Amino acid sequence: MISERCAACKNQRRKCPSDCIFSPCFPANDPQKFACVHKIYGGSNVGKMLQGIPTYLREQAANALYLEAKWRIHDPVYGCVGIISSLYEQIQNAEIELAKIQTQITFYKLQTQRIEAEPNSEVLQAQSSNMEQFEWDNPTIASWFN
């Protein structure tokens, strides 16, 4: 039986043994996957990393290494650390936005309670116009109210 060599063994121009550690993770029909990790980590480092991982998790590890290698090729300075920074920034901005919305909800809740308690109060008219100003200052929040 002539078995097809995996992408790693093809790349390294060697025979692909039956117990090849690369074979389940780097199929012959996806040479780009091994080429990427080889460029960033080197073939022997990838082999060493896979050997330290339980067999059933090796394919997932190879996929993660492939993603990291692709990101590093795409952004040679920051690699996937650049993506992580950008996601942290998104989360921080969302937290700031959420804090503003919490203030806004508290305002509406108080306003509703007060209107229910004392309808037609002049204080509420003043609060209402203050809140419109608050919404106006925040374009994202303002868009929800229009």
Instruction: Catalog residues that contact its own copies under the rule CB under 8 A.
Output: 40-42, 44-45, 49, 52-53, 57, 60-61, 64-65, 67-68, 72, 76-84, 87-88, 90-91, 94, 97-98, 101-102, 104-106, 108-109, 111-112, 115-116, 119-120, 124, 128, 144-145
Nearest CA-CA partner of 125 in 115, 136, 140, 116: 115
Q: Of 3 and 60, which has the nearer Cβ to its own copies?
A: 60
Q: How far apart are CA 128 and CA 24, in angstroms?
A: 64
Q: Which amino acid is at 2?
A: I
Q: How far apart are CA 72 and CA 92, in angstroms?
A: 25
Q: How far is the CB of 133 from its own copies (least distance, A)?
A: 15
Q: Of 4 and 145, which has the nearer Cβ to its own copies?
A: 145
The answer to whether the CB of 3 falls within 8 A of the CB of 16 is yes
Q: Of 2 and 77, which has the nearer Cβ to its own copies?
A: 77
